[in-house]
Amino acid sequence: MNLMPMLTARREAGKPVPAALIGAGKFGSMFLSQVPHIEGLEVAVIADLDPERAKTACRNVGWDEARIARTRFVDDGAAAARADGVEVVLEATGHPAAGARHALAAIEAGRHVVMVNVEADVLVGPVLARKAQAAGVVYSMAYGDQPALVSEMVDWARAAGFTVAAAGKGTKYLPAYHNVTPDDVWTHYGLTPEAAKAAGMNPQMFNSFLDGTKSAIEMAAIANACGLDVPEAGLAFPPCGVDDLAQVLRPRAVGGQLERDGMVEVVSSLERDGRPVFRDLRWGVYVVLKAPNDYAAACFKQYGLPTDATGRYAAMYKPFHLIGLELSISVLNAALRGEPTGMTRGWRGDAVAVAKRALKAGEMLDGEGGYTVYGRLMPAAASQSCGGLPIGLAHGVRLTRDVAAGQPVTEADVTLDESQPIVSLRRELAATAW
C-alpha cells in the first residue's frame, strides 16, 4: 500500500526504477501500455527476437516516438538481462529453456527477476529461486497472473490465522478438451480460423489454455509457492460457481470434493453437459478458508460471510485478473521493497506430458498446446517416481517407444539432450531434497 510514495521518493531523488523486458508479446505489451502512466518506472531495454516487431508493439500500446527513441531494442535476451543500469528483469518469452537461461543471466548480473514465464518456473523454478536467494536478489512471480494473485490470497489468509482449505482459479473446462488440437481450437472460442489469424492469435498457445496444460502449470506453480498439496489423481475441475466454493472445495470427510485441507484445484465454468455454471469464476481466483475455532466461525456468520453447511468453511475470491496490466506491482515490489509477489519455495507439484492419442515410436512431441501431448498436474513425488516427462521438456523430442492414449510420457520414452542447460537444471531440481 506504500509503493507509490516509495516510487515518488525514488523519482524525486533522480533514481527511477529501470527495468528490462524480455519478450514483447501479449503479456509484455500489456505491461508496456501502463509504463508511461507510472512516473518513476522506466523500461530501459526491450529484448525480442524481432526488435522491429517490439517497436511496433510499443507504438500499438501508445508509446510516443521520444520514449521509443530512448529505449534500447535488442534481439538477445541474455544481453538485456545483463545490461548496465537495469535493476529488474522481466522474463516474458513463455519458452522454458530461454526463460531459465535469461533468469540465470540476470541473477549472475545481480538483477532482480520477475518470472512471467510460468512454464520455466514450474520446470526449474525451485532451483532458480535458490540461486537468486544465494545471490541476494529477488526471484518473483508476476503479479496480475493467477499464481501470484493466489499466492497473495493464501498469504493473507494464513497471516490472518485461517487454515487454507483450497486455493486456485476458474477456467472453461470439459473432459473432451484434453484432446483438442490447434486444428479445432477456435470452435471452442467461438472464432473462425481466419478471424483468429487476423487478430494475431497463436492457435497452439490458446489451445494450451483449453486442453488443461496451462491449468496444470499454474496449479503446480501455486503449490510450489504456497506449500499446498496436489491432488493425487490430478485436477478434477469440478463445476462450481462463486456461491458454492466453500461447499465444494472442502474435504470429502465433511461433504466436499477434496482429499483433505490444503489443496490446489481448478473450478470449471461449465457443467459436464456443457451448460454454463451460475456465477462462474472463469476469469478469477479464489481461496477457501477454514475457521480455526467456533468463535471465528461465529464471526463469519455475524459479518455476512457465506459459509458451507458446517459454518467453518468460507471463500474469498477475485472475479477477474488483469494479467500484464498489473505487472508493474511485481517490478516495484522487487526494486523498492526487495520482496517478491509470490515465489517458488519448494517442489510440490509438476506438470507432466500425457499422450492426447496413441503415439508411436519415432514421433516428435510438439509440447504445450500441440497435437501430441497435454500437461497433467501430478505431485512432484509421483512424477519423480514414475520418471514423468515434464511438459516443459516435451517439445522437439522424439519418442523411442509407443505411448498409449491418456498415459503419461516418461523420460524413458524419449531421448533428451543431456548437454542442454535446461536438462541439467532439471536434473539439479530432481537431485535436491525439498
CA angle, residues 250, 251, 256, in degrees to nearest 5? 60
pLDDT at 199 over 90: no
Report residue 149 as a C-alpha cell. 494473485
Tell which residue, 42, 105, 49, has the closest CA to residue 68: 42
Cα 126 to chain center, whole Å? 14
Confidence of residue 434 (pLDDT cuts 50, 70, 90): confident
pLDDT at 164 over 90: yes
Cα 71 to chain center, whole Å? 28
Domain 349-431, architecture per CATH = Alpha-Beta Complex (3.90)
Q: Do domains 3-144+324-337 and 349-431 have the same CATH topology?
A: no
Length of the chain in residues, anyone? 434
Helix (H) or strand (E) holding 164: strand 163-171
pLDDT at 1 over 80: no
Asked if 189 and 196 touch (Cβ cutoff 8 Å), the reply is yes
pLDDT at 207 over 80: yes
3-144+324-337, CATH topology level: Rossmann fold (3.40.50)
Report residue 252 as a C-alpha cell. 470429502
pLDDT of residue 50: 96
**pLDDT tens for each residue of 393-423:** 999 999 999 999 999 999 999 999 999 999 9
238 Cβ contact list (under 8 Å, min separation 6): 248, 249, 257, 265, 267, 268
Average pLDDT estimate for 339-368 = 97
β-pair type (373-379, 349-355): antiparallel
What are the φ and ψ backbone dihedral angles of 49, each rounded to 5 degrees? Answer: -60, -25
Average pLDDT estimate for 244-263 = 98
Helix (H) or strand (E) holding 384: helix 380-386
Average pLDDT estimate for 48-70 = 97
Asked if 261 and 163 touch (Cβ cutoff 8 Å), the reply is yes
- Domain ranges for the chain, please list them: 3-144+324-337, 147-173+212-320, 349-431
Confidence of residue 260 (pLDDT cuts 50, 70, 90): very high
Burial class (CB in 10 A: 0-12, 13-18, 19+), 293: exposed
Confidence of residue 201 (pLDDT cuts 50, 70, 90): confident
Rounded Cα distance between 371 and 156, Å, is 40
Cβ atoms within 10 A of the Cβ of 276, count?
13
Mean pLDDT of all residues in the chain?
A: 97
**pLDDT tens for each residue of 269-326:** 999 999 999 999 999 999 999 999 999 999 999 999 999 999 999 999 999 999 999 9
Tell which residue, 382, 381, 390, 432, has the closest CA to residue 411: 390
Average pLDDT estimate for 143-162 = 98
As beta bridge partners, residue 349 has 379
pLDDT of residue 197: 81
pTM: 0.96
